[in-house]
Chains A and B, each alone.
Chain A
Amino acid sequence: MSSMNMKEKPVMDLESVLNKLENSEGKQYWRSLDELAQGEGFQEMIQREFPRQAGEWTDPVTRRRFLTLMGASLALAGLSGCRPPGGKIFPNIKDPEGVVPGKSMFFATAMPLAGYGTGLLAESNQGRPTKIEGNIDHPASLGATDVFAQASVLGLYDPDREAGLTYLGKPRSWDDLVASVGAELKKSPKGKGFYLLTETITSPSLVHQLENEFLKNYPDVVWVQHEPAASDNGINGLAKAFGSPVQPIYNLKSADAILSLDADILSRGPAHLRYAREFSSRRSLENLDGMNRLYVAESTLTNTGVKADHRIPLRSNEIERLAFLIAFHLKVHGVAKPKGLSEEAQLWAKVAAEDLSSRGKGTTLVVVGDEQPESVHVIVAAINEKLGNIGKTVSFIDPVHVRAGERSKSLRGLVDDMNSGKVNTLFILSANPVYTAGADLKFADALKKVPQVYRMGIFHDETSRICHWHIPDSHFLESWGDVRAFDGTATIIQPLIAPLYFGHNFQELLAGLSSRPNRDASEVVKEFWKTWYESPAQTALRSSVPFEKFYRKSIHDGVIEGTKSLAKLVKLQIEAVAEVVKKFESGPEWKEGSKDNLEITFRPDESVFDGRFANNGWLLEMPKSTTKITWDNAAIMSYKTAVELGVSLNTEKRHELEDGVYRSPAKSFGYTGGEHGRAYVDTIKLSIQGRDLVLPVWVVPGHPDNSINVQLGYGRERAGKVGTRDVGADVYKLRTSSDPWSALGIKAVPTGKQHVLACTQSHHYMEGRHLVRSGTVAGTKENPKWVEAMGGEGAEHDDHDHHDHAGHDHNHAEHGKTSLSLLPEVISDKYAYKQHKWGMIINLTTCTGCSACVVACQAENNIPVVGKLEVTRGREMHWIRIDRYFEGNPLKSNTLKAHYQPVPCQQCENAPCEQVCPVAATVHSYDGLNDMVYNRCVGTRYCSNNCPYKVRRFNFLQYTDYASLSMKMVNNPDVTVRSRGVMEKCTYCVQRIRAAEIEAEKRGKLKAEREGRDLDRAKDCQIKDGEIVTACQAVCPSDAIVFGDLMDPNSRIAKLQKKVANMNYSILEELNTRPRTTYLAEVRNPNPKLDNSKKGHA
């Protein structure tokens, strides 16, 4: 279960997989299940496979929203090995080797996103992938994952994938397809008129197939790439700067000061997990002097911006100016002082530049977002060069994806060719251009002119609808393949389950078209790596290990050694820089932003990315980290801009609502637009070049004025049952291929109508309570005890003795001494914790609010999706929520400070919830867990009322979907599936704790037996620190969550608690609930010259 055990049965796992999927026996094993699936006995077993309880779908909207089942029978392949069902038992014909019935296993694989891979370990319960963990050995993961990887298991079972291979809607066989494509290719000798449209491709084996087989045989085939959410500005800019296209690799570990220009390094991009880890390693509270400093100038509030020590919001088109300004201050190759920019921006740039230059060479880093124009990348390259960072904090490698730099351009070319009739055949691989292509391209119309279009994709979506052929693609958990990470490291993608929805593999198609047609994907991949292995470059490798061994090891480890790209020696092209500078200075005058000079910026969405995840309930319901909006996108703007545009922020107005959410009799609050769940906001009509779109307005403090940010990926017309109907608005309609990231000259007019946003936290302020305790390095040096002191203020005017008690009492609580209670301590009598005392520390300094923990928890604990309507009623079910508070004056965007605070169940020792439960459905366990017993709960909801942290969640309706069978397969068999009317909450992943405990007990018992002596639990049955890893902890990229045994003095958590005791506090400690979950204060490292938070702590 824990990351430790993941690596316990290596070879065995591998063999079993190979068995399953390579030798015919294995195939037999899989297919037999399909046949099995037809028998009604099997259906019945499936019915019984998971708890069947009373209650049907109730809330119509939720029902519509939630995935319901189609084609169950096939979806159930691989299920029969699971826990025995209620009515019948269906044993295997032959147990797959190495599979211990009832035990889950982990397989290394990787998830490609926009071409780039993140290494994963997928947990399989008897052939059912149920959970994703990060692969510690993988450079882009380091054990963490992002929300997309977590949610990928849900995507795997998504019944909407079920479409089948069709031609004009009629079913066709794979062979028909191969024949038909072959015919198309042969129409002209060299395949002229055949176009191939793909997304970004980094897969070495696929590239090899394409370039060395396919394109060799058909040289006139045109291969076009399209990646809506990626920009080539970076690569092209650096190509200018260094003469050849390169990709930057940052080393945040050794950067003391970082300046980020509109680059959301901590939460976006193929390497963000790694960067977040590296960044947090430099924000350690144990070593305040070593803390780095982060300056962020950005065009919309990102997680990186929230963590910044100094952040200045600038319109996207001002960032360039700022870059030049800084370059000027750093005296980069004759950059003159650019005009314009506000006073404070200029000051900010000056101070930042001074800070950068004042530090040693190669100890700083300037990063810039790919969305920024090439010129900025050039100038930043120059700056980094000037600061001596190149080779130190930033190095460059050859682009990882092939044909770098043509992604953004080439689509236009294709459209032109389609319109001019040059295209006879178009094969679209996974991309969804009809939806994602720029509005100016009118891709759909052009597509209709192509006589024969093939579409291979996971979903039968907007594009498939107007294509002749639809070929169901296979999910990465279903198919063989390989992918490269941001730094070039390659990983072999191995399937954990046979394709559920007739999915096929593009590489098999290419193989089919090649001279050696019948190779399946696994063979193709293996073959490629064999050639790679035999290539002259790998002599060393060959001498050390035979291929089979090497290949298996590579699969098992999830990384192929020797594939990491080497840093390139680059030389800055002075003239290129000079040219850029000249161009900039001769460029247009700076025009201050105003309501007539609005800017719009487009960014991929943190839930649905470019739209490809638009049918994923987990992601849609995940509150976005800064806005806390679910199930929607919005036009994000600053308070000032909203007022100037005449958006009414008084949400009391009773306008017609689009959806039938009942009205709140209560008035809502300030510009936050209502509380918990329901937010009535005005909608605004954005129009640009005659195209317009209506979006709800969401005001975010700290957003640059006169700039509107919109997120891609919503308003899908054919996403599936979950993501199709009125889920957000499609901003691609506003986006042109010419300026895909930001555009000027947009008109914004309030519609006077209102829209209901499902927002899980729209109360922005902490109300002067010290829930998040935030301070500075300097402040801490002055007064190391400030955190505790704040606790005092927490109960500020509270009678002072009382508070002091509370204060100390908390510390004592650790040793279980004094108490505020008049009653004697239970803990001191028979309920003294004998062996374990589980606890959790959440580090607010490093938490980047990325929400990976939220989705991970949902995946691990079978947490249902409730749908927008229920969220608007304040009934979302997430066991861990990330609170977000703002500080500062909403009118002064640059003074803004924001804080993240993940809040799971605090596992109080004096739990208020337990005392009020009439049926003892929530009680304490022998190791101090606050157990929640679903099957005892009668649902009075008193516990939730009495929970000061409001972390309990209630099944107001039948949220868990018992109706759709395929959805059951994603459930974690170790966790009870809750029914209607039952309270639930974070359990510290008790299933993992108990599993580890059982293992430890067994270990100890056998040990004692071997040594022929009595068992001594304390000695023999120890659980290694780190053996139990909670789902949230496992995925956390910034390592902000530490879980462990407070009684084990050597555990990481115990040590941490001792080391930074002065930073350790618990929320609402004055209530004497004695939470087991405590927090480390948020410490920033502002530059004294800019520090606008005068006192020690904000």
Chain B
Amino acid sequence: MATEVSHTGPSLRPDPQPPMVGGKHSFDTMTDKITSVIFAVTPKGWIFGFAISFLVLQVLLMSITYLLYEGIGIWGVNIPVGWGFDIVNFVWWIGIGHAGTLISAILLLFNQTWRTSINRFAEAMTLFAVACAGIYPLAHMGRPWFAFWLLPYPNTMQLWPQFRSPLEWDVFAVSTYFSVSLMYWYIGLIPDFASVRDRAPNQLLRMIYGILSLGWRGGSMHWHRYETAYLMLAGLSTPLVLSVHTIISFDFAVSNLPGWHATIFPPYFVAGAVYSGFAMVINLAVPIRHYYGMKDFITDKHLDNMAKVMLATGLMVFYGYGVEAFMAYYSANEFERDLMMKNRVFGPYGLFYFALIFCNGLMPQVLWFQKVRSNEAILFIVSIIVNIGMWLERFVILMSLQRDFMPSAWGQYSPTFWDISTYIGTFGLFMSLMFLFCRVLPMISIAEMKHLLPEAHVHSHNDSHGHTESAHGGSH
């Protein structure tokens, strides 16, 4: 039935590839290993980690409360630098998110089986990162209580949003991105909820996960529709994830500001997003596989692959910087040139520019070496540096604001305590959610992992054999 195989195209089905599961595992042991995390007594380490994150989360709540009470004047933003940490962090978090979708969607389309063990928490990461990001556009408004004016609905003013504004596009892009990622993540979870349900030690858990699983039974037709939906979602979220960061980059590219007004932005923003995203995945994967002893599922091969992706996207980003500089020179537009020289490179924030060149451009070159890629410690550090680098990138871009067309209006920006506390706070939110996720949800896709085992294969010769047998049986 080769035709059938082709019509479904890439799928959850295993292809002949180097095994991505280490150790000796059967369906049973695998399911057991992954679900056991949920049924186990809460580990001390977890409680500790969660407590910390939750504490930091309170910093966020505090900062937001004070912000709402006083107004964004408590931040460092000013005229001309109307956007500061708020948008920097917004873009940074959104960027982080992208790896999740990329891993679960694009790699699926490309039939990369090594995605299976990391896509689940990569997707979780996406959701949580987007949640963190979502805070900023709301908080950075002068009058957040009117945020709903950005939504199109028939109101008593008969007014509608202004659809030419990139910020309005953001509303659509980010909300779509979040909801699609959420659905994608959830249907991925359904069969696993069922597994948890069926292994749950007590009635309560059975009920909770029973409801979450919607009563999944794994019928053949269910699986067929499930696969189809899953694939379509993958197909949809691939352009989606690209569009989202493209649109984010439009916030800058559409404006007329030197340093923002550049066509290179969409591609290199997307690349940058994936770049930082993978860095973050590594930052999460390394401790998780350690702590929960999941080295068998998240193998060194996984880290190696991710490192390669980082290297690739890193180079794209680096190229982006090059193009920016070149275009500034080649456009022969004095404003672009001045921006490059008098603001970015040798301006007040020159230091940050060089730092970012190092973090994103030079340092990651070490990933060329197999030795580095296979050393999770170094990998971990490299990823952290890359994340810092990507943050710096956004910061430097935002700082284009401080010296644009009219020297008389040139200004400077420096964050205040509240800028920083808000940023730190979002980590609290992110980590708290991450901890909860690891605790109560199967952090690796069980159903999909099962494919990676040889037993999952149907021996097609049995097919014909089966036919004859049935014929034979019929003669009885």
Contacts and interface: CB of A to CB of B under 8 A. Distances in A.
A174 interface: no
Given A885-B408, A938-B143, 16 more contacts: A662-B76, A666-B347, A666-B414, A676-B78, A677-B412, A763-B407, A795-B333, A797-B334, A874-B412, A938-B150, A946-B255, A948-B257, A955-B71, A956-B71, A980-B142, A981-B72
B406 to A, nearest CB: 6
Contacts of B71: 55, 58, 955-958, 980-981
Given A874-B79, A920-B162, A941-B77, A946 B257 contact: yes
B342 interface: yes
A767 B83 CA distance: 24
Given A936-B149, A938-B147, A941-B77, A763 B257 contact: no
A915 interface: yes
Interface string B47-76: 000000000000000000000001111101
A676 B167 contact: no
B141 interface: yes
Contacts of A141: none
B408 A761 contact: yes
27 contacts: A59-B73, A666-B348, A668-B348, A676-B80, A676-B412, A763-B410, A768-B334, A771-B407, A797-B334, A884-B408, A901-B408, A915-B254, A916-B165, A919-B162, A936-B149, A937-B142, A940-B140, A940-B141, A940-B142, A941-B83, A942-B83, A944-B79, A954-B79, A954-B82, A957-B71, A981-B72, A1071-B256
A881 B408 contact: yes
A767 B337 CA distance: 12
B328 to A, nearest CB: 11
Contacts of B150: 918-919, 938
Nearest to B333: A798
Contacts of B255: 912, 916, 942, 945-946
A875 interface: yes
Q: Interface on chain A toward B: helix, strand, loop, or mixed SS?
A: loop
Nearest to B417: A662
Contacts of B76: 662, 873
Nearest to A628: B408
A912 B256 contact: yes
Contact of B142 (A797, A952, A954): A954
Interface in A875-898: 875, 881, 883-885
A948 B339 CA distance: 14
Interface in A939-996: 939-942, 944-946, 948-950, 952-958, 980-983
B278 to A, nearest CB: 30
Contact of B78 (A771, A874, A1071): A874
A675 to B, nearest CB: 5
B142 A938 contact: yes
Contacts of A678: 412
A95 B80 CA distance: 49
Q: Interface on chain B toward A: helix, strand, loop, or mixed SS?
A: loop
Contacts of B287: none
B164 interface: yes
B404 to A, nearest CB: 7
B475 to A, nearest CB: 75
Contacts of A883: 406, 408
Choose among A666, A763, A797, A958 the residue with the greatest number of B CB atoms under 10 Å from its CB. Answer: A666
Contacts of B164: 915-916
A367 B410 CA distance: 38
Contacts of A920: 159-162
B226 interface: no
Contacts of A941: 77, 82-83, 140, 142
Interface residues on A, range: 35 or more
Contacts of A982: 142-143
Given A918-B168, A1071-B256, A675 B72 contact: no
Given A675-B411, A676-B411, A952-B79, A797 B256 contact: no
A767 B342 contact: yes
Contacts of B168: 918
A102 B407 CA distance: 43
Contacts of A663: 414
A665 interface: yes
Choose among A797, A940, A955 the residue with the greatest number of B CB atoms under 10 Å from its CB. Answer: A940
Contact of B161 (A766, A881, A919, A957): A919
A176 interface: no
Contacts of B142: 937-941, 954-956, 980-983
B405 interface: yes
A608 interface: no
A874 B80 contact: yes
A774 B162 CA distance: 40
A918 B165 contact: yes
A169 B409 CA distance: 49
A854 to B, nearest CB: 14
Interface of B: 70-74, 76-83, 140-144, 146-147, 149-150, 157, 159-162, 164-168, 171, 251, 254-257, 332-334, 337-338, 342, 347-349, 401-402, 404-414, 416
Nearest to A980: B71
Interface string A105-141: 0000000000000000000000000000000000000
B72 A956 contact: yes
Nearest to B149: A919
A65 to B, nearest CB: 14
Closest 10 pairs between A and B when the two form their complex, measured CB to CB: A939-B142, A981-B142, A666-B348, A676-B411, A957-B73, A956-B73, A797-B332, A941-B82, A950-B409, A883-B408
Contacts of B160: 920
A938 B406 CA distance: 26
Contact of A903 (B159, B408, B411, B413): B408
A769 B334 contact: yes
B148 to A, nearest CB: 9
A652 to B, nearest CB: 10
Contacts of A666: 347-349, 412-414
Contacts of A980: 71, 73, 142-143
Contacts of B404: 948, 950
Contact of A766 (B74, B256, B407): B407
A942 B82 contact: yes
A1011 interface: no
B405 A949 contact: yes
A445 interface: no
Nearest to A1072: B256
Given A667-B348, A938-B141, A956-B73, A915 B333 contact: no
Contact of B72 (A674, A765, A939, A942): A939
Interface in A52-109: 55, 58-59
B162 A875 contact: no
Contacts of B74: 58, 957
A151 to B, nearest CB: 23
B80 A950 contact: yes
A769 B72 CA distance: 33
A945 B82 CA distance: 6
B256 A942 contact: no
B455 to A, nearest CB: 55
Contacts of A937: 142-143
Contacts of A940: 140-142, 167
Nearest to A1067: B406
Contacts of A667: 348
A861 B78 CA distance: 21
Nearest to A920: B162
A796 interface: yes
Contacts of B81: 874
Nearest to A982: B142
B73 to A, nearest CB: 3
Contacts of A954: 79, 82, 142
A799 interface: yes
A981 B409 CA distance: 21
Choose among B80, B409, B414, B416 the residue with the greatest number of A CB atoms under 10 Å from its CB. Answer: B409
A903 B160 CA distance: 32
